[in-house]
């Protein structure tokens, strides 16, 4: 049985509810750029409060470690995490305006071995690289970092020693193993990872997220549609299905997005980069009981750029990363799957590590929002692991998400 407690969407800062605004300054092709970092008070945000970005182990806000280190003192300029190497040589798609300019700008040194900072956990804000200021939005209990998951190395970090976890439930329950007794109820009422986090529910996603399709085509087919909605056309059907589900409490429609949790940041693209990428893995206790229903929790990776406005993480069939996506390779039918052993995902399901890549324009300012929420209810939780954010040279193609090779 699914039960739902109504919540109130909070737009003011409380413990564990924050806005994030960061700027990354680029030094590309050997040319320095003079700009200042700024925090939430200098740009758009949910509130104007200035908070640190540290998080704890998921049960509380933690010690709030701030950004680790700053730009180097030497004359080489800041380092930027630009992946996929190679020399663009000034060719089409390379991004450099000077012939022979290399795409790689500096080398990234992971700095997350002892950090609780969510941005360091995904490969940003390391010493000698550009400083980041910011925080998160949602319950503090739904945000954390970890070094491993399950009984194998299937969920080992993709960069450094840790990765970020965002959830629609408590992250400190991830290592609580599902008991066999949950099977008496067909695993539709899990003992763990089945929490209502409180008043973090909404019928309207925080801007710039907008589930509306841009039309019959995506923005790849018609770039004039950029900025009119979700360029991928992958969110509206799920949103509409949830609205059509008819959930009510005392005659009042249930919130659609429940236990909403996000990390967002704004960055300046290096002058030599034409793409960005990151790794993610999604898992949910909704499987198997609520497969192919309106209770389809999902993750959104939203990009605001000159090249794309909308979700960038979806499967080849146009499904967002969710219970119903094509990438669910770990389905623990009998509670014996080693990849999910010792966790609350035993008897449930997960994707493997995936890689999302999306185009950007060299030098532009982009905003990314990584968000996860329960759809149509506030229980049976879902989680996303995030790691290895990079700039790259793979522009000229629409966003794509593929299994990590």
Prediction pTM value: 0.78
Mean pLDDT of 137-146: 96
> For the segment 248-293, what is each residue's pLDDT rounded down to a tens digit?
666 777 778 889 999 999 888 888 889 999 999 999 999 898 887 7
> For the segment 295-352, what is each residue's pLDDT rounded down to a tens digit?
778 899 999 999 999 999 999 999 999 888 889 999 999 999 999 999 999 999 999 9
pLDDT reported for residue 33: 27
> For the segment 172-227, what is each residue's pLDDT rounded down to a tens digit?
999 999 999 998 777 888 999 999 999 998 888 999 999 999 999 999 999 999 99
What confidence category does residue 375 fall into, taking pLDDT thresholds of 50, 70 and 90? confident
**Is residue 403's pLDDT more than 90?**
yes
What's the chain look like in SS3? Answer: CCCCCCCCCCCCCECCECCCCCCCCCCECCECCCCCCCCHHHCCCCCCCCCCCCCCCCCCCCCCCCCCCCECCCCCCCECCECCCCECCCCCCCCCCCCCCECCCCCCCCCCCCCCCHHHHCCCCCCEECCCCCCEECCHHHEEEECCCCCCCCCCCCCCCCEEEEECCCHHHCCCCCCHHHHHHCCCCCCCCCCCCCCCCECCCCCCCCCCECCCCCCCCCHHHCCCCECCCCCHHHHHHHHHCCCEECCEECCCEEEEEEEEEEEECCCCCCEEEEEEEEEECCCCCCCCCCCCCEEEEEEECCCCEEECCECCCCCEEECCCCCCCEECCCCCCHHHCCCCCCCCEECCCEEEEEECCCCCEEEEEEEEEEECCCCCCEEEEEEEEEEECCCCCCCEEEECC
pLDDT reported for residue 100: 52
Mean pLDDT of 76-81: 44
Looking at per-residue pLDDT, the higher value among 391 and 375 belongs to 391
pLDDT reported for residue 131: 67
What confidence category does residue 353 fall into, taking pLDDT thresholds of 50, 70 and 90? very high
Average pLDDT, the chain: 76
């Amino acid at each position: 049985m699914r039960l739902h407690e109504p919540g109130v969407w909070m737009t003011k800062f409380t413990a564990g509810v924050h806005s994030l605004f960061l700027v990354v300054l680029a030094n590309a092709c050997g040319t320095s750029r003079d700009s200042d970092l700024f925090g939430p008070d200098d740009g758009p945000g949910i509130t104007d409060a200035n908070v640190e970005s540290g998080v704890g182990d998921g049960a509380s806000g933690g010690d709030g470690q701030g950004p680790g280190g700053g730009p180097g003192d030497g004359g080489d300029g800041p380092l930027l995490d630009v992946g996929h190497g190679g020399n663009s040589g000034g060719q089409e798609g390379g991004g450099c305006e000077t012939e022979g300019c290399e795409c790689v700008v500096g080398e990234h040194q992971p700095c997350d071995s002892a950090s609780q900072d969510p941005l360091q956990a995904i490969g940003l804000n390391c010493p000698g690289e550009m400083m980041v200021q910011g925080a998160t939005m949602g319950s503090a209990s739904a945000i954390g970092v970890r070094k491993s998951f399950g009984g194998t190395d299937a969920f080992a970090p993709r960069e450094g020693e840790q990765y970020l976890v965002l959830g629609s439930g408590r992250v400190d329950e991830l290592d609580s193993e599902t008991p066999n007794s949950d099977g008496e109820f067909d695993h539709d009422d899990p003992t763990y990872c089945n929490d209502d986090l409180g008043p973090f529910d909404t019928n309207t996603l925080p801007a710039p997220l907008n589930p509306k399709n841009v039309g019959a085509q995506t923005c790849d087919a018609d770039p004039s549609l950029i900025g009119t909605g979700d360029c991928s056309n992958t969110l509206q059907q799920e949103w509409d299905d949830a609205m059509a589900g008819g959930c009510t409490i005392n005659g009042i429609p249930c919130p659609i997005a429940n236990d909403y949790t996000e990390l967002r940041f704004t960055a300046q693209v290096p002058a030599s980069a034409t793409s960005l990428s990151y790794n993610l893995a999604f898992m949910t206790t909704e499987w198997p009981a609520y497969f192919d229903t309106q209770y389809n929790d999902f993750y959104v990776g939203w990009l605001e750029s000159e090249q794309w406005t909308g979700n960038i993480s979806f499967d080849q069939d146009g499904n967002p990363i969710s219970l119903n996506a094509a990438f669910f390779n770990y389905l623990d039918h009998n509670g014996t799957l080693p990849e999910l052993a010792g966790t609350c995902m035993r008897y449930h399901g997960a994707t493997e590590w995936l890689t999302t890549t999306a185009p950007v324009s060299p030098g532009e300012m982009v905003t990314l929002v990584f968000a996860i929420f329960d759809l149509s209810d506030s229980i049976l939780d879902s989680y996303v692991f995030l790691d290895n954010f990079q700039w790259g040279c793979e522009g000229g193609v629409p966003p794509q998400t593929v299994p990590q090779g």
